[in-house]
Structure 1
Amino acid sequence: MLIMCSLFYYLGVSTQREIIMHYRYIIYSEKRDNYYSGQTKNVDNRVDKHNKGHSLATRGGEPWKLKKVIEFEIKSEAIKAENWIKRMKSH
């Protein structure tokens, strides 16, 4: 193990798993009086895409305003939260 760790160090490879955060976000359109929930790794970039009409689901509601961001270490948890939010929206 020591040899392998030394080799990784020499090669510049991290032995620690890099944590990539996932974000659940909620945006709001005054034009539509509607909220939209999604998940992404880069919130600013994603909201910018919504405001440029890159998403069929939100096109025509521009400008979208960011209302809430929730951080998750695991993508599957962000997706579970999205599904829960969408279920609550339909009640």
Structure 2
Amino acid sequence: MIINGLKINYKIIGEGRPFLILHGWGSNFEKWQKVGELLVEKNLKVIIPDLPGFGESQKPTIAWNLDDYCNFVEEFVKILNLDKFFLL
């Protein structure tokens, strides 16, 4: 997936109600893999992106601030057509 010109790495596992997991600073989606697998057992569709500049996602060419990351999440949700979802 490409968002704002950046290649974004993400994983979707399971079926059911969407559950979006956002990792913290200095982390990536792999840190949440086990949690995601447990949530799948609860009939949830788990979506875990690597935020820009983390994990396997492309790094922005300029420094991003919190607003940039919020805009990224908004665009990510739009692209995946997530209307209602859980967020962690």
Q: Could you tell me the TM-score, scaled by structure 2's length?
A: 0.39
Larger-gyration structure (1/2): 1
Q: Which of the pair has the greater relative contact order for Cα pairs under 8 Å at 6+ separation?
A: 2
Q: Could you tell me the TM-score, scaled by structure 1's length?
A: 0.39
